[in-house]
Structure 1
Amino acid sequence: MATKTFKLNTGANIPALGLGTWQGESTQVKDAVVAALKSGYRLIDTAYCYGNEEHVGAGLKEAFDQGIVKREDVFVVTKLWATYTSRAEEGLEKSLRNLGLEYVDLFLVHWPLLMNPEGNDDRFPKLPNGERDILRDYSHVQIWKNMEKLVGSGRTKAIGVSNYSKRYLEELLPHAKIVPAVNQIENHPQLPQQEIVDFCKEKGIHIMAYSPFGSTGSPVTSAEPVIKIAEKHGVKPTTVLLSYHLYRGSTVLPKSTNPERIEANAKLIELDAEDQKLLNDYSEGLVKEGKVQRYVYPPFGVDFGFPDKS
């Protein structure tokens, strides 16, 4: 799994497995990056919003200096935060300085909105009443046009989106000169988002799955079919949930700062037809009952077009 790749619409290969760094404690992220690269990972995912790009960059530098990997062998992803979506070039340059890199392999729109770039905080500006300070008349289509200007600069090899619903993609694509290479979304058996996955496949947009265990506390690991499949194969539920994305053709981003867990997450299995049916039936049942579970949804107060949140 650690060495498997998928082909993007740019022609580049993207690894099937990557290290997620969201909520990673800054002091531990550097060592986690080094541990992941030693364990065979070749994709590292971060974002300006996470506040740890500098530590990710320090981990990358240590791995390069030790000869563990070369820069060209690592697929580095970061994201344009919402306070910078009207000034994409500035946002990218800021991330590159933090990371200590000349370029990233993929730069994503983190969320399709603009928060006040002149607000009272660089990352999370708020109004006096405590709500997020959002400029609601700024179009996410314009955000993508800002991203398209970065292509050809040599500072990012590809551009994509994150947290885009089918509805938002349908609004975007008629105006896009460049089709997003990737859509990074929360994805697991309790939130299959099949309408987005199928639409992206049709349009040649690769899915990257974050929070594959259901975010904090890994709640999806306790789902009955996940436990049943894990017992059948003699593996951990986390192994089943990561392997789920292998047959779906998606890149998956488990996050951990524990070296042993990082290494274990790279040792996945091939789910058989029976396993796949069990997980698919479980997901379809939740959809029909209106019981899908989304674990990551910041309080923006914006309808992004997801059926479970609209």
Structure 2
Amino acid sequence: MPAEQLVAEMVPPPRFDGVRFSTYIPDPQQPSQTEAVRVLSAFADGLGRGATAAGSGRKRWFRREPKAAAPAGPRGVYLDGGYGVGKTHLLASLWHAAPAAPERKAFGTFVELTNLVGALGFQQTVKTLSGHQLLCIDEFELDDPGDTVLVSSLLARLVEHGVALAATSNTLPGKLGEGRFAAADFLREIQGLSAHFRALRIDGEDYRHRGLPEAPKPFTDDEVTRAAYATPGAALDDFPSLLEHLSTVHPSRYGALVRDVAAVCLTDVSAVPDQSTALRLVVLADRLYDREIPVLASGVPFDRLFSEEMLKGGYRKKYFRAISRLTALARDAEGLLRA
């Protein structure tokens, strides 16, 4: 695919098409949520003033303008907080509020950004994104040293070209990679990454479960199968077979995998056997949640997908996010049985 087409698809997912700062409902018990809306709104306004300043004045023919110096201090905002506090909602709202045309701002997950570099190559990615006003990176997490060096270099180059950055994560920028690889060996790169951002902490509980009843219990294989056949566009899969299939598909293609799927019906859901499988399932859960695809399942409850060891390890925040999102999608799926 041409570079322009790949980047053109980097927009907020369907779930966040209509979100704005005005549709974010801060928890009155968490003042940091209200403060985040204020800071991000001001950040978006600042992008507009910068664009106006850059475009003002008369064109001077045959005279080379001096290259603008890179701005001092952080050139972006970094939303840190637990899962379910609305970080992606706020990041997508910033993308919508940024005054640039859609083709001059990009929104994607950290995985999608690294996949873009893999598809285009480093230099072509810099060239393609350097004309953007804003790059939004959701779920910013460094899982290996190669990603650390790659993203540090990419963001440094983009900041030199005046691109503003915004990111969300469950990990403070100075702590990225901690618990997953020898972060101390790559301290310079990690510190370089954190220098690009002003960290903004967002406190609160998971809004997906705030004031809601417990997650629905799994259904029987027969109930799931009947609902799948009664729902146009639904997919019906045996969970172990699905996990095996995911190992043959690159995670960057999981979005395409669920395209045009109206509902995902799973039988025989069981605890995932290993960390690699678990991380693939996390990516699939994110893509299902982005696209608001309900998940109806039999077998073990979603809060028993990951072992205690996994939930205490370096990827624990990813696993808790996946449990939270799959539980929300399971609630959405209850209507399939009623129908």
Range class of TM-score, shorter chain? 0.3 to 0.5
TM-score by length of 2: 0.31
TM-score by length of 1: 0.34
Highest Rg: 1 or 2? 2
Structure with greater proportional helix content: 2
